[in-house]
Structures are given as C-alpha cells and as structure tokens.
Amino acid sequence: MTAPLLLVIFIILVALAFDYINGFHDAANSIATVVSTRVLTPTQAVLWAAFFNFVAAFGFGVNVAKTVGKGVVESGGVDHWVILGALTGAIVWNLITWYYGIPSSSSHALIGGFAGAAVAKAGLGALVPSGLLKIALFIVLAPVIGLCLGFALMVATMWVFRRFRPSRVDGLFRRLQLASAAFYSLGHGTNDAQKTMGIIAILLFTGGYLGPEFYVPFWVILAAHLAIGLGTLAGGWRIVKTMGMRLTKLRPVGGFCAEAAGAVMLIGTALGGIPVSTTHTIAGSIMGVGATQRLSAVRWGVAGRIVWAWILTIPLSAAIAALTWLILPHG
C-alpha cells in the first residue's frame, strides 16, 4: 500500500470522526425538544434519532454533498493537506463549543475550515464566491425561516385545538412528537451527513480515485450516515439543556411544532442542495414557538450568546484550519 493511499485512508477516517463528532455535538438538535417535554428519556431519544439519522441515507439524494464538494472551494485549490486542515479546524471548534455547551454549527465549522485551509494554500482565488454567498445568505435565513415556521405552526395548532382540554392536547402531542422527532432526525441526517460525504468525495476526486466526473460513491453515503448515527448515540447532554430548556419552556405541542418546522426547512434545503445549519434551524424554530406565548418567554440572553457563537464559528474554524495547514508537512 503506497504512502499517498495511506494518507487518503487516514483523512477519510478523520472525516468520519468529524461526522461522528457532528452526531454527538448536534444530537441535541434532534432530541432536545422530545427530552425537555419528557416524551422520551435521553437514552430512548438518542436511539430514536440515531436510527432515523441512518435511514436518511436512503432517499434524499446528495445535492448538499455536491455543493460542499464543488461549490465552496475550486477543486484546483484542494489537496490532501487542505482537507486535513479543514477537518482539524472543524473538529477543534466543535469540541470547544461542545465542552462549553454552546450550540454552534458543525456545518459552518466544516465550511469555515475548508475555506480557511484553501485560502492558506492558494489565496482568496481558491474560493467559489457564488457558493459561499448562498451559504452566507442561509446563515441569516435558516434561523429566521425556522422562527417564522415555528411561530406560524404553533399559532395554527393553538387555533385548531382551542376548544380542547390542555391535558388532552398534551396527551395527543406526546404521541405526535415521536413522529416529528423522527422527521427532524431524517432532516438532520440527510443535511449534515452530506457535508462529510462532500469532503470525502472531493478528496477522492482530486486524488484521481473517482475518474473524470465528480460523484459520491454509495459506500461513502453509507459510511457517513453510519458515523453520524453512531455519534448521535453518544448524545450531548450539555447542549440538550441549552436548546431544550434554557431557550424557552416547551410543552409537547410546542416540541412538535418546533421539530416539524425544523424538519420542513432541513429536508427542503437538502433537496435544493443548500447546506444549512441544523443548529440555527431548530434554535429559530424553538424561539418562534416560545414567542407565541409572549416575547419574554424566550430567554433572549441565552439566545444572544448562541448568536455570538454562530457569528464566530466560520472565522475561528477557518483560522484554526489555516494554522493547521501551515503547520502540516505539505509539499
């Protein structure tokens, strides 16, 4: 086995490690509401979410993977060391924010790392402005759309069930939340696992292992979904507390509306090839649901700290990745 092939295998393993970390870092996005409303225990919730993270491999395409692989950095500016630097920047930032319980975006950490390492190697000309503009636009739009969908769905649900006893509504939505959590986990799996697929596919493509056409091999799809599913099994209670309990107090009906709104957003953008943040989406949905009670029901101080983490994710993961590329023995 040659040294270049060994390096490729090592980087693929690092990419799958990132995917695994993404799973436990972003597990809170899938299970926070269903745990905070006490519909499922944390153990039951991660099993439920992990299963649907993996099932998402079968049926939602690879449009996001193609965007990440070809729409962030020009393929001519990519080599093994750029990808290794990108993954290192994303993993380090994810671990920092996980340790402090800050729900930052694994997706944007990866994209920031990819851009930072590429700029360190080839300058700003290595970037694809149109792809980065689309991603930057949805940094703003994802939480806003999530908030609006969560608010609208909660208002509509309250109107439909306005004559029902609260205890009966809670009982109904405790059961429905199982479906909404599964739906959201499908969205989480298909959107987030595809980002790792895109990184592995561009690694294989630039190394000459895919031939003249860029595509995502089926084994890469299965491996990425398996890794994110196993990571979700590892859980992430620090962030679950922030997302499910500190942003606003949720009842089962609110948990259902937040998850359903987030799932619609995630699956819609995945089909459109737009890599969005599951963290931004569900946080916006939760805030939209909370705002239907009254604006003060949302703990805006906690929300503000989360927004600062969002703002810092891309530049700091890019800086870590660029520094990593400079240190690595590339050549």
> What is the pLDDT averaged over residues 169-178?
85
Alpha-carbon span 118 to 61, nearest angstrom: 27
Q: Which has the minimum average pLDDT: 30-44, 90-104, 142-156?
A: 30-44
Q: Is 46 exposed, middle or buried (0-12, 13-18, 19+ CB in 10 A)?
A: buried
pLDDT for 45 equals: 79
Instruction: Name 127's bridge partners.
Output: 73
Amino acid symbol at 129: P
Alpha-carbon span 325 to 169, nearest angstrom: 54
| Average pLDDT score, the chain | 83
Phi-psi region of 79 (alpha: psi -120 to 50; beta: other; left: phi over 0): beta
pLDDT at 81 over 90: yes
Output the 3-class SS for 111-172: HHHHHHHHHHHHCHHHECHHHHHHHHHHHHHHHHHHHHHHHHHHHHHHHHCCCCCHHHHHHH
pTM comes to: 0.84
H-helix segments, 56-79: 63-70
Q: Which has the minimum average pLDDT: 27-36, 143-152, 276-285?
A: 27-36
Query: From residue 48, how far is each of 39, 40, 143, 236 by CA, in Å?
Result: 12, 9, 25, 15
The full set of domain ranges for the chain reads: 3-327
pLDDT over 70 percentage in the chain: 86
